[in-house]
Amino acid sequence: MSDSSRRHRSVAVSALCVVVIVVVAVLLFRPMYVRATANSSPTSGTLVTYNYSCCTSLAINTLYRPGEVIAARWIRTKNPGTTGRAVPVALSMRISGPFPSVSSLKSAMIGPHPKVGATNVRSKTTTLLDTVRGNPQSVLRVPRHAASGFYNLTFTVGTSNLTQSGSSIIRVAG
């Protein structure tokens, strides 16, 4: 084989390696897009994702009675950055009580092992992708046997690698 033939072959192999590397890089690092529907973000070249937090003040600043429903609308905010793919998010809430006063509730919830009340109820978990543009709602029924007092309303937002929780105080009157 001549020198020019070897050089031509070496250039061809090098060019083929570059093409393979570019194709692999495009396949590995390309963003995944969600098809646009009425409930998802548009596919405009970047994937728009959202964070969720609880809740509108109406759900918290209401006096509840046994048997009533707490309907908490989750607040959606746009993420400042983008991600390569949609991530499932789990939204849930629960109540625990009753406590005779706000201070006794706060004292019970402090520390690594909070003391729960006699009544504990959890909502059904709502799972959605972080690309959904709607504002989901969690529903929780105050038990008919719930005693009057203050209840800890805990809300949780979870993904596969992060869970965030917060709480508010609601009041149930018998």
Beta bridge partners of 94: 122, 154
Within a domain: residue 33? no
Within a domain: residue 21? no
Within a domain: residue 32? no
- pLDDT for 96 equals 93
Instruction: Find the CATH number of the domain harbouring 79.
Output: 2.60.40.3880
Within a domain: residue 6? no
pLDDT in tens, 51-72: 888 877 767 778 999 999 998 8
- The Cα–Cα gap between 155 and 54 comes to 7
The DSSP output letter for 26 is: H
Nearest in space to 167 (alpha carbons), one of 63, 67, 66, 59? 59
- Exposure string (b/e) for 28-56, b if CB count within 10 Å is 16 or more? eeeeebbeeeeebbeeeeebbbbebebbe
Q: Which residue positions in the chain have pLDDT lower than 70? A: 1-45, 58, 82-83
Q: Specify the number of domains making up the chain.
A: 1
Nearest in space to 145 (alpha carbons), one of 170, 120, 109? 120
**Under a CB-based contact definition with an 8 Å cutoff, are residues 157 and 91 in contact?**
yes
- pLDDT for 150 equals 95
- Exposure string (b/e) for 113-129, b if CB count within 10 Å is 16 or more? eeeebebebebeebebb
Q: Residue 123: which domain range?
A: 50-172
Within a domain: residue 95? yes
- pLDDT for 87 equals 87
Within a domain: residue 114? yes
Within a domain: residue 26? no
- pLDDT for 64 equals 94
Within a domain: residue 34? no
